A = this chain, B = another copy of it.
């Protein structure tokens, strides 16, 4: 069992000074979210993470979720932890009071969710999927559907799933084959028949009902994405008064044996083995994929956050080991001196600093993006909401892909800090890498995120949104000297020049193949630069905080980390620019058979 403690001071700092919580507090309905309330919530969530979720993480991985004649059983402690989670009203934190939620800002929810993911990524997936289902129903369900399903999804008594993937339809959802046949005389009701795979928490023993959101085709629809509709398929049908009725014809047929997140059941689902699974059409027919994509931003942000969270967990474990493991002499004392903890060795520090710097950059970006979600949802002025929406759309694929790549990189470094011990499963360091690995794949692979960024978020508006973001970052360069750090200013200036040049190149090249061939390096270039901007925002706040008697050690550490990021990591932007501008030729030249 490895320890986890929520980095509450860092989270508060990032919320207030990087994500600019003040602007969130100014939004309607957010005025009473005081700094003290934020602290209280983070500390309480931190205790829940430390005391309840983290202790069952490793055993959950070892035992895994099990499927047999009795159904799906999550590992010991999961059902009880989930009961406490619901009882503590954690599930409804960001949702509308109308359905029993607490209506707190999304950015605060984001910080809290980081704690769930870090303490126990397998556990955190369950509320994460429910959150996706809630978002989707809030946006597209009928008032009756909302009243029937949302209160108990918001409370967490019921959980939600996304039934998208089929074996022939993964990244390419146009290939979905599950059919939905209208039930005569029952408008809006269908019988669904098909097979779904990779359904996270598709079946489990933690809640009394599971609300599946299922993509399927109506009869005689055109092939491709236009023929796909979205349905609510509850595990147990729900009577009009909200009581549970008969078991629906939707069944788990097997669980996957996965590299990581093993405590979370990943189910193959069979719909309609018997008389067809009863499903209720959401919104209009043929708009299923479109609806699914409206909630994708939040889900992708949540997955990006998993990258931050698992990285934090891996960092905490590596840091503890580096402080305690005695091995080798210090370079700075004479020979013959005592052996020292390995945290004294420069290369161990290089790894820990890399981990720390990447985490803080990615956390800043995730919270910053979440604050824009609040503005997009709550700001009274429509044009500001629209602007915020564009900003969220631009940043979301970066948060998702860059942060999850960081999750793997940091978890990998965490193993390396441990040396041979890191390769032994009982240590727990390897689990973080195994868990982190999925986040770069699901909710749209990181390659798909990069194509989304380049094609839909940059090229579609001729680079306007990207250039707006770049201009805003450039403005940070002209902050007064006492609010900047010279190496960071220099590093960010170069990174911004590279990002601007890569953006211009993509826009001017007008070749979709070249754009996609350069998409992943472009996304990394954008992410690294944004990370530098997040540190610039942090540094800007320093002087005031020091004057106000802030925690000097914390603030100094932030400055050291910013400098490390600027000197060691930001220069990667130069190489990434070269990779983008290399274009598609050498990527595409090889005939398929000559690979």
Contact = CB atoms under 8 A, between A and B. Distances in A.
Secondary structure of the A side of the interface? helix
Nearest to A335: B224
B588 A349 contact: yes
A267 to B, nearest CB: 13
A272 to B, nearest CB: 23
Contacts of A341: 592
Interface in A26-79: none
A341 B557 CA distance: 49
A441 B259 CA distance: 20
A96 interface: no
A568 interface: yes
Interface in A257-271: 257-260
A343 B592 contact: yes
A420 B198 contact: yes
- Number of chain copies forming the complex: 2
A197 to B, nearest CB: 8
B578 A564 contact: no
A161 interface: no
Contacts of A426: 257
Q: How large is the interface on A (under 10, 10 to 19, 20 to 34, 35 or more residues)?
A: 35 or more
A285 to B, nearest CB: 21
Given A423-B441, A441-B419, A356 B560 contact: no
B416 A446 contact: yes
B319 A595 contact: yes
A327 B172 contact: yes
Interface stretch (A121-129, A138-146, A384-392, A514-522): A514-522
A449 to B, nearest CB: 10
Nearest to A582: B567
A476 interface: no
B571 A578 contact: yes
Contacts of A450: 347
B587 A353 contact: yes
Nearest to A344: B592
Contacts of A553: 591, 593-594
Nearest to A343: B592
Interface stretch (A17-25, A163-171, A305-313, A536-544): A163-171
A332 interface: yes
A289 interface: no
Given A259-B424, A345-B447, 15 more contacts: A168-B326, A172-B328, A198-B420, A256-B424, A258-B423, A259-B415, A343-B592, A346-B519, A350-B587, A351-B447, A420-B441, A560-B589, A560-B590, A572-B575, A574-B574
For the complex of A and B, list the 5 residue pairs with the smallest distance between their C-beta atoms, beginning with the closest: A571-B578, A567-B582, A346-B516, A347-B447, A564-B586
23 contacts: A257-B426, A259-B415, A259-B434, A323-B595, A331-B513, A332-B513, A343-B592, A344-B592, A347-B450, A347-B516, A348-B447, A349-B517, A349-B587, A350-B520, A415-B441, A416-B446, A419-B441, A420-B441, A557-B594, A567-B586, A568-B579, A572-B572, A574-B578
